Amino acid sequence: MPPSENSPIDFDDQDAVLAAAVRSFEVAAKRAAAENDARGIPTPVGVNGTVRYVLNGRLLDETGSSK
């Protein structure tokens, strides 16, 4: 499928589609983390195969305390 008038992505180019999806996810994740920080809500992140939480850029321990 050729790119539409509104999209520079050629949807037949798997690498381009994947790269666009990754960029979109990165932007959304950063915005969500910033909103969580503003509200004082820890954001879940994957660290070495486990889920940990980050608040205002600091990794929290299992009790929710900052390290």
Instruction: Specify the pLDDT at position 6.
Output: 75
Q: pLDDT per residue over 9-31, tens digit each?
A: 888 889 999 999 999 999 999 99
Average pLDDT, the chain: 84
- Read off the pLDDT of each residue in 36-58 and give the average, rounded to a whole number: 89
Cβ distance 51 to 44 under 8 Å? yes
**Can you read off the two tokens belonging to residue 67?**
């390290």
Q: How many residues does the chain have?
A: 67
Q: Give the DSSP per-residue string, 19-58.
A: HHHHHHHHHHHHHHHHHHHHHTPPEEEEETTEEEEEETTE
51 DSSP β-pair partners: 46
pLDDT of res. 2: 53
